[in-house]
Amino acid sequence: MNVILLGPPGAGKGTQAVRIAEKYQIPHISTGDIFRKNIKEQTPIGVVAKSYIDKGQLVPDEVVIEIVRQRLAEKDCEKGYLLDGFPRTTFQAEALAGFTTVDTVLNLDIDLNLLMKRLTGRRVCSACGESFHVSFIGDAKECSKCGGALIQRADDNEETVNNRLVAYTNQTAPLIDYYTKQGTLKNVQADGKIDEVFAAITRVLG
Ligand code: AP5
Ligand code: MG
């Protein structure tokens, strides 16, 4: 089962990916998480990625494509994978087609006006990676799943979110057409409750 999660920033890709990976027992590969790990460890990739991510711009195609190509060659991807946040440009999608076959593209479909609130109110567990929202957890400082410290992502401020939404509209949204033409795109309504969105995803994936 080779699956792509497509959708704008804040649509719930990471939230749903954790649940999909657990149910279908496939590795969750988030290019954003890979970059954040590299930034934390101050690797050369992290230094390059940070200069783009802080501005809400996409990291250059050649950097991200090579990371994904290597990751998909690892043994745990033999029975399938879930890509979260890749591809994000038509160039990335074409490169991906050169080294793997995608079965299903889940497009998390949501009104872009809902996303600013979701992102500026997001808190992420620094230990297990689970996402929360202040509207549910208030000013809690610890993760309810593992007790890890909750943090706010550096790119979840209003100015950077605006730039991320522009990058999505200009560079990533054209992939909806691209995968529709390939016959692999499935739309999932992403403005419902987390469990409702997940139920819709499982109806598509079986
Ligand atoms: P990345 O980490 O992928 O960020 P993103 O696409 O901007 O998406 P997010 O992680 O912000 O949102 P999400 O859809 O995962 O939402 P979440 O589930 O957390 O990328 C970061 C940066 O890295 C990019 O800007 C770019 O610079 C770079 N990058 C990464 N991949 C790249 C690539 N392929 N090419 C080039 N550059 C790349 O949910 C958001 C919030 O909403 C949470 O608070 C959550 O609790 C809440 N929520 C979720 N679902 C619901 C619901 N159903 N109802 C109510 N609240 C909900
Ligand atoms: Mg995410």
Write the pLDDT tens digit of every residue in 124-181: 999 988 899 999 999 999 999 999 999 999 999 999 999 999 999 999 999 999 999 9
What is the Cα–Cα distance from 61 to 59, expressed in whole angstroms?
Answer: 6
Instruction: State the pLDDT at residue 129.
Output: 87
Whether the predicted pLDDT of 94 surpasses 90:
yes
Kind of pairing between the strands at 81-84 and 122-125: unpaired
What is the Cα–Cα distance from 15 to 7, expressed in whole angstroms?
Answer: 12
Instruction: State the pLDDT at residue 69.
Output: 98
Model's pTM, two decimal places? 0.96
Distance 103 CA to ligand 2 centre (A): 21
Task: Name the strand (E) or helix (H) holding 176.
Answer: helix 174-182
Catalytic residue, candidates 36, 118, 164, 186: 164
Report pLDDT digits (tens) over 39-54.
999 999 999 999 999 9
Instruction: State the pLDDT at residue 58.
Output: 98
Assess whether 36 carries a catalytic annotation: no
- Mean pLDDT value across the chain: 97
Q: If phi over 0 gives left and psi between -120 and 50 gives alpha, with beta otherwise, what is residue 56?
A: left
Report pLDDT digits (tens) over 64-93.
999 999 999 999 999 999 999 999 999 999
Contacts of 86 (CB under 8 A, 6+ apart): 4, 29, 31, 64, 68, 92, 96
Ligand 1 atom at shortest distance from the alpha carbon of 5 = 14
Mean pLDDT of 13-32: 97
Kind of pairing between the strands at 122-125 and 104-109: unpaired
8-state DSSP, 58: P
Assess whether 181 carries a catalytic annotation: no
Contacts of 112 (CB under 8 A, 6+ apart): 8, 165, 168, 169
